[in-house]
Amino acid sequence: MYDLVIKNVRIDQLKIKDIAMKDGCICKIGSISEPANKVVDGEKRWLLPPYVESHVHLDTALISGKPFVNQSGELFEGINIWNKYKENFLTHEDVMERAKTVIKMMAGQGVLFMRCMVDISDPQLTALKALLEVKRSVAHFMTVQLVGFPQNGLLSSKDGFLQLEQAIDLGVDGISAVPHLEATREKGVTSLEQCFQLAVKHKKFLHIFCDEIDDSQSRFLEVVASLAIETGLHEQVTASHVNAMSYYDEAYVRKLLDLLKASRINIVTAPLINSAMQGRVDASPKGRGITRVKELHEAGINVAVAHDDILSPFYPLGTGSMLAAGHMLLHLAHMTGEKDFKTVLQMMTSNAAKVLGIKRYEINEGNQANFILVSAANAQDLLRRQPVAELVVANGQILAETPKQETKWNGFLEMPRHL
């Protein structure tokens, strides 16, 4: 007896199949007639693996305008607001409540894995302690990875490394550095070297905030790639943002792409916030705010697209929709060719799963039963219309259902007789 059977779903787009689950796993894909505790008609909808969010902040989420508004919209005003919020309003309960709201918001939209950045520059590590509790409480449906991230720099802030070590003791999954925010290039390089040493010592993955600045001289990505090779950490290293790469000259980019390929590190791009935050001090024409996504992908480097901030001091928008992030990426990266839609969908699913190191993520018999059902014909249709995830299945259980949005017409389409 199966726990759950969903009949009539499109898994490889064309063929209609049934899918059966037991004890949280996919038991069978094909034509299923055996009994089940629950049988649902999939109505020929598309069954996809869940979306994977590879870079999000839960501690800064949902505080835009509460009470501080980032009037300039710029990064440094955002950092000041966040520092003021931490001093005056940040409590364990506050972080728990906001984080759970965002997790629910994203899970309802089909995200079942997320890598979450946690600011560890607060001496009490309030946000981290709260998020460790949240992580445990949602583990039955959402996999949360926590990354200790020093918002004010590792070397340029007081006790930066001490706090990172404390975060490791408390149980973060991964660690980070922000080399471009350190006072000098040399301090940026040293912060990376020390961060890599800690990662090796404590067996943590690395998720570096890297070159998130419109400065062609910000070249920490080469250091990250080089250290990934030297330490042998390779795929366990991810560099986020790296939008400075758009400002590098072509000869250097060619050398850098070879180094990145050899390093096997992952790149995460966040087109929603970066399109709003970057390019602000450029003269016209202004930069598009993101890194060289198309070139990185074509060079064989694993690139994922992330949603990132949701109503934070840095970004007054955001709904947690991965499709919104993908839609923005299509535009900014000039990825509107026929094959590009599938590529961008992979960047929010399988490529992002690779960033997080998720095992057995695909829709196969024997794998964990995590998937979504959407009404979309293909990747282009999905990204164009951004339909809701009508059914979200987590660990073999139906977690959430969202009805398809449809417009009801009231008959006024026909010309009334009196007009």
- Segment near Zn ion (CB under 5 A); pick from 83-91, 99-107, 252-260, 300-308: 300-308
The distance of closest approach from Cβ of residue 55 to Zn ion in the complex, given in angstroms and rounded to an integer, is 5
The distance of closest approach from Cβ of residue 307 to Zn ion in the complex, given in angstroms and rounded to an integer, is 10
Query: Which 8-state DSSP code applies to residue 369?
Result: -
**In the sheet that 389-394 helps form, which strands lie side by side, from edge to edge?**
25-30, 16-22, 2-10, 36-48, 371-374, 389-394, 397-401
Nearer of residues 211 and 308 to Zn ion, judged by Cβ? 308
- Segment near Zn ion (CB under 5 A); pick from 225-233, 285-293, 308-316, 410-418: 308-316
Torsion of CA 68, 214, 319, 294, to 10 degrees: 180
Nearer of residues 46 and 113 to Zn ion, judged by Cβ? 113
Nearer of residues 173 and 308 to Zn ion, judged by Cβ? 308
The distance of closest approach from Cβ of residue 383 to Zn ion in the complex, given in angstroms and rounded to an integer, is 22
* Count of residues in contact with Zn ion, rule CB under 5 A: 1
Tokens of 51: 């979306």
Q: How many CB atoms lie within 10 A of CB 279?
A: 18
Tokens of 23: 């004890």
CA 130 to each of CA 70, 133, 222: distance values in angstroms, whole numbers, following the listed order: 25, 5, 35
Determine contact, residues 163/189, Cβ cutoff 8 Å: no
The distance of closest approach from Cβ of residue 56 to Zn ion in the complex, given in angstroms and rounded to an integer, is 7
Nearer of residues 182 and 308 to Zn ion, judged by Cβ? 308
Distance separating alpha carbons of residues 264 and 199, to the nearest angstrom: 17
Distance separating alpha carbons of residues 106 and 134, to the nearest angstrom: 14
- Segment near Zn ion (CB under 5 A); pick from 305-313, 330-338, 369-377, 394-402: 305-313
Gyration radius (Cα) of the chain, Å: 22
Distance separating alpha carbons of residues 78 and 212, to the nearest angstrom: 14
- Segment near Zn ion (CB under 5 A); pick from 176-184, 281-289, 304-312, 322-330: 304-312
| Residue whose C-beta lies closest to Zn ion | 308
Nearer of residues 306 and 394 to Zn ion, judged by Cβ? 306
By CB under 5 A, residue 53 contacts Zn ion: no
Bridge pairing between strands 2-10 and 16-22: antiparallel
Residue written as token pair 């705010």: 289
By CB under 5 A, residue 308 contacts Zn ion: yes
Catalytic residue list contains 212: yes
The distance of closest approach from Cβ of residue 265 to Zn ion in the complex, given in angstroms and rounded to an integer, is 17
What is the H or E stretch that residue 394 is in? strand 389-394
- The catalytically annotated residue of 34, 212, 222, 338 is 212
The distance of closest approach from Cβ of residue 411 to Zn ion in the complex, given in angstroms and rounded to an integer, is 49
Which positions are catalytic?
212
List residues binding Zn ion (CB under 5 A). Answer: 308
